[in-house]
Structures are given as structure tokens and as C-alpha cells.
Amino acid sequence: MKIIKDPVHGYVEADELALRLLDSGEVQRLRHITQLGFANLVYPGANHTRFEHSLGTMHLAGIMCSKLGLDAGETRVVTTAALLHDIGHGPFSHVTEPVMKEFAGRSHHQIEGIVGEGAIAGILEDEGLDPAEVSAIVSGDHRLASIIHGSLDVDRMDYLMRDAHYTGVPYGTVDAHRLIRCSVLAGSGIALHEGGINAAESLLIARTLMRPAVYFHHVSRIATSMFVHALREEVLNVPGADAQELVRMDDAACMERLKHSAHPITRDLACRVYTRDLYKRALYVGGDRVNAAALQQDLGPARERDLAIAIAETAGIPEEEVLVDIPPLPTDLSMEVQVRNSHTMVDIEEVSPLINTLNDTRRQQWRLGVYTTRGNRQAVEQAANEVLRVKRATKQDKLVVT
């Protein structure tokens, strides 16, 4: 049993199995993948990595298993899944997810290919664990998956606390121990004992407040859009560029590669992100001014690119100088959280009126962005208004929460 110091949880204990997995190249790689991508351009402290988050998630998963009364075998498979749940991430975590989906055909939750072969498969086999079961937990397809992958899961508890610690944003306070204490195993996953409702509301509020302040801060979105475009241009234009290979890199290797690309657009955009010489917002509007739902159809980098090209043409500027950023609509919180007491079990929305509003708030936080160079802002704003059929702003629309 080894002890690893962690600023969020104090100490994390790693047993022999965990130590063997930690030594694998796949897990060591997570040391070099930042948790929050380009959020460190806004919050200089946000340099924490998927490695420590994975340790923290394993730690909370172990406590959760113990509170739920799982046996040693179940606990091993759940904590292993917790440790490995993020090994599928590409460089800069969520930044490269759209490119991974588009060109490599998988999301970061799909880790069968990684745990099923190579060093990790060998370790799991040695220790009597089934790689398929581990990846089923990570992809959500397992009776115990909601420990790691639900509305009140330990993955979220860890990242909210951790992101608050490193950004300094004071909204991530989560009473993880109370939440874990109040979790119970129900037929369909983890349910919540009524004593944990306040703590659950607090977690859902933290998610809601962290969203505009950190996860969808416009500076981070602009850098992400620039980097995604750089990466796609590399894949599409540079002979021998292999998307599969690119998304298996770490942050540094991927950035170095793009900064020195043979393709000038890729090179320029990567260098700009690296030196924080970013595009600006030409348009930044919510669902009250564009049809957010309609824009979700066929959503993806290719669709965004088509719109960007149309805007660039309308504005009469080079197409690489326009980026369109259409985030997915937020999923509803807590669809599946059930609350129980000695009498009955109900959906959390029935006892917590906050939940529905938080969903409203999250939808209201959604923003479509069109980014360009400082000099092109006015021309692009006008063109984007036209191409995207943006409604005119009303009085309070002018209050953009940023």
C-alpha cells in the first residue's frame, strides 16, 4: 500500500494493483494531459492533469464502494475502472474530443481498445480482472457504472472539487463525504437517501456555476476552436497525418507537432494559441437570438466549418480567419437521480424545485460564438448575423454574462 499526497483529498492510497496500473505508459501519459485544456489561459493555476484526477476518482470510488457495502471483488473492478476512466482522452482532454469522434470514431469513454491490449490488459489479466467489465463500467454499460458515470458520480465530485482548488473559483464546493454517505444501491443504479438532498443540490449548483465561469469561459472556447481548426487542417491537409495517432499524443507532443506543421494555417493557429494571441468574439449570442435546437442537427466540426466558410465569404475575408463555435445544448441534470426514504422513492425533481431551474439556467448559459481576428470583428459580426439569421438584441440581451 503506497500513499500519494493529494491537495484535494489529503492522501490517496494505492494498492499493488493500482501501483502496477499507475506504472503503465497509458496511465503515465495522463500526467501530460491537462484536465481543463485551455482554461489555464483564463485561470493560470489550472494546470492540473488527468493523472491526479484519476487518482482522486479512484479514491472516492473506494470510499463509495465501502459505504455501499460492495464486496472485495466488485470494489476492485470499480476502483480500477475509476483509475482508468480517462485513459481514452486525447490531448488537452475535451479540446480534441470532437476531432477524435470525427476522425477516430470514438469518444473518450470508449476504452475497450486501450484496456483490452498491451500493458494494461496484461496487468488486469494477471490480477484476475476482466478488461471488458472494466470498460463496460467506464462506458456506462454495467450495473455499477453509475458510481463513476451518473448524475452524482465520484468522477464529478472529484473534478468539481479539484477544478475549484486549482482555478481558485469558489463555486466547486461539494460535500463529497455527505453525498457518498447518502448514496444507496437501487435497482437501476445509485439512488440518494433523502438526507443527501441538500448536498446533491449543492453539487448540481456547482456544476451549473462552474459551467460559464470555467468550462465554457469564452477565452477557453476561442482557444479550443482555434486549436481544433489547426488540428483538423493538419489531418485533412498534411500527408501522413493520422488522426488516430494525433489523439493518442499528449498535450506537449500535439502542440509541438502543430506549431511546426508543414501546413501554414495549422502552424499559425497553434502558435497563436501557444502565445495566447487569440481571436476575438465577433458574435456571442444565446438561444434567444438563434435557434439553438435547430443548430444541433448534424452538429460537429464539419458543420461549424461550413457556416464559418459562408460567413467568411460574406465578409470577404480568408476562411481560416472565421471560426464558428456551436456547443451542444446542456443535458438535463439528474434525469435519473431517485431519492428515497423509509416510505418511498421519487425523482429528485419532485422534491427539489431547484433542479428544473438549474436546467433552465444551463440552457440559458448556452452561447454560440463566432470568432475572428481583432481587425475583422465588425465585418464578421455583420456577416454572421446575416448567415446565422440572428435576431436583434433586446434590452436585456445586451447583458452578456461573461
Closest CA to 172 of 215, 205, 150: 205
For residue 318, count CB atoms less than 10 angstroms from its CB and return exposed for 0-12, middle for 13-18, buried for 19 or more: exposed
Q: Which is nearer to a second copy, 66 or 173 (CB)?
A: 173
Shortest distance in whole angstroms from residue 369 CB to a second copy: 18
User: Is the CB of 230 or the CB of 339 nearer to a second copy?
Assistant: 339
What does the block give as the cell for 369? 460564438
Q: CA separation (Å) from 341 to 257, 348, 351? A: 55, 12, 12
Are 355 and 334 within 8 A, CB to CB? Answer: yes
Closer to a second copy by Cβ: residue 141 or 360: 360
In terms of CB distance, is 106 or 221 closer to a second copy?
Answer: 221
Task: Please state the closest distance from residue 30 (CB atom) to a second copy, in A.
Answer: 10
Q: What is the C-alpha separation between 372 and 389, in angstroms, rounded? A: 18
**Closest CB to a second copy among residues 30, 379:** 30
Give me the least distance between CB of 397 and a second copy, in Å please.
9
Contact 204, 358 (CB under 8 A): yes
Dist CA 171 CA 164 (whole Å): 7
How many C-beta atoms lie closer than 10 Å to residue 389's C-beta?
Answer: 11
- Residue 185 CA to residue 137 CA, distance in Å, equals 15
Q: How far is the CB of 16 from a second copy (least distance, A)?
A: 17
Of the pair 52, 153, the CB lying nearest a second copy is at 52
Q: How far is the CB of 80 from a second copy (least distance, A)?
A: 18
Residue 27 CA neighbour count, 13 Å, CB half: 24
Q: Which is nearer to a second copy, 297 or 396 (CB)?
A: 396
- Please state the closest distance from residue 327 (CB atom) to a second copy, in A: 18
Nearer to a second copy, 144 or 269 (CB): 269
Residue showing cell 446565422:
388
Cell reading at 294: 435547430
Nearest distance from C-beta of residue 285 to a second copy, angstroms: 14
- At closest approach, how far in Å is the CB of 192 from a second copy? 11
Nearby residues of 110 by Cβ (< 8 Å), 6 or more positions away: 88, 135, 139
As a three-state string, the secondary structure of 205-240 is HHHHHHHHHHHCCHHHHHHHHHHHHHHHHHHHHCCC
- Measured from the CB atom, the residue of 125 and 277 that comes closer to a second copy is 277
Nearer to a second copy by C-beta: 60 or 311? 60
Q: Which residues pair with 136 in a beta bridge?
A: none
- In the complex, the smallest distance separating the C-beta of residue 150 from a second copy, rounded to whole angstroms, is 20
Cα–Cα nearest to 79, from 4, 155, 5, 11: 155
SS3 assignment, position 374: helix
Minimum CB separation of residue 318 from a second copy in Å reads 24
Whether 179 contacts 154, CB under 8 Å: no
Classify 346 as helix, strand or coil.
strand
* Helix, coil or strand: residue 123: helix
Q: Which of 62, 48, 51 is nearest to 13 (CA)?
A: 62
